A = this chain, B = another copy of it.
Amino acid sequence: MGFDGKRVVADLEELRRLTGDENGAQRVAWTPMWLKAREWFQAKGRALGLEHHLDAAGNSWTTLRGDSDRVLILGGHLDSVPNGGWLDGCLGVLASFEVMRGLMEEYGGRPPVTIRVVDWADEEGARFGRSLFGSSAFAGTHSIAADRGRTDREGVRLEDVLAGCGVMVEEIGAASLEREHAAAYLELHIEQGPVLERLGLPLGVVMGTKGVERHAITFYGQEAHSGSTPMGVRRDALAAAAKLALEIRPIAMKHPDAVATMGSVKTFPGIVTAVVGRCEATLDMRDLDAGVLAQMLAEARAASERFAAEEGCTVEWSRIWSIEPIPFDAGLVGMCEEAIVEVAGVCPRLPSGPLHDAAEVMRLGIPTVMMFCQSLNGLSHNKAEDTRVEHLVMAVEAFGGLARRAAGWVAG
């Protein structure tokens, strides 16, 4: 009885051997290695006599029928980035499977509610630049028109690659049929950040995924000769951008969980002998509170205009992408806290900076929560990604406790 974390660790190690190499995990969605990982996983379900099918978007569903049609979904994703880690995404799938197995045993083969494990298709978007592919089809937030035009670096079309995996791009919206009777969604994931490690704690409950404001900012000054242009008459676009790169930090640090990042700076003409005439920068700001995020954005804009004026420059903003914060379900957050306290004694509350499939599900109004497990050195998307085995074992136990509570709530 119970949930066997060591079995999950053994499964993860087997998957690593099967689908990784010396550079890390190679389970990029829609490639033979990913299909191999999925086949390996589906065989586990068959061995337990469970139903399995792929939906119209390529999401993989393993179903354990219960007394009620109401469905508790547990999930993750088997796909990885190229040269990825051994935990990101697949910990969620394999822990979900173990928890389903444990509940199946606990309830003598028939739990009070139907339990399904989903392996979302192409969470990473590593090859075609469209992350959360399968979960957004499930949620109805995909765009067939946009997806049809996508190509990989070699110019291979997403549409053709999907067809090779049995997925017709016009039909992916039918994945929404899987929502029927869906009553809750739970996902276990590694943190991919340093917070739990710094707290010295193995597990935390995720309060939601942060909203994101992602912008391209261009400062226009005057290109000028580096030797003949006195300092006092320059209109240096880099200087304005440098001020903003530093100012976004106090703007974010007023709020406990907010982050602001200037990840790219490009200078034009970008030569050693010319004052920068144009500087293109990117800004990525995130917070769990929509009001905080809006305030940060307004402050960054105002600062950029002040710096542009100080430097005799102008500035233009262009939104690349944005998403509202998505807070998880309060009831499930409470159950997750109880389950973690039971195993680890204490449960910190964390926001999620990265997006996850869970956010797509929560946007539909299906009560959702995520549990985070500590990451060593905050690393992920990298073969150095790692978590202590004892923390993985605790994670599976706590996730099982959460699923048991959620199943009871769904049944009731």
A interface residue numbers (CB < 8 A to B) = 191-195, 198, 210, 212, 214, 224-233, 238-239, 241-243, 245-246, 249, 252-253, 257-267, 269-276, 279, 282-284, 286, 320, 352-355, 378, 380-381
Contacts and interface: CB of A to CB of B under 8 A. Distances in A.
A192 B274 CA distance: 13
A213 B282 CA distance: 30
Given A225-B353, A228-B354, A286-B227, A263 B275 contact: yes
Interface of A is mostly: mixed
Given A228-B353, A238-B265, A242-B242, A233 B198 contact: yes
Nearest to A194: B233
A50 to B, nearest CB: 33
Question: Closest 6 interchain pairs by CB?
Answer: A227-B353, A193-B228, A242-B242, A226-B261, A228-B353, A242-B245
A43 to B, nearest CB: 33
Number of chain copies forming the complex = 2
B229 A353 contact: yes
B253 A263 contact: no
A339 to B, nearest CB: 22
A195 B230 contact: yes
Contacts of A272: 214, 261, 263-264, 282-284, 320
A228 B378 contact: yes
Nearest to A377: B222
A322 to B, nearest CB: 12
Nearest to A320: B272
12 contacts: A192-B228, A194-B229, A195-B228, A226-B261, A228-B352, A232-B253, A238-B245, A239-B246, A263-B270, A263-B275, A265-B266, A271-B282
B265 A267 contact: yes
A13 to B, nearest CB: 25
A259 B231 contact: yes
A284 B286 CA distance: 36
Contacts of A286: 226-227
A81 B386 CA distance: 55
Contacts of A259: 226-227, 229-231
Of A232, A238, A246, A320, the most chain B CB neighbours within 10 A belong to A238
A180 to B, nearest CB: 32
A379 to B, nearest CB: 9
A253 to B, nearest CB: 5
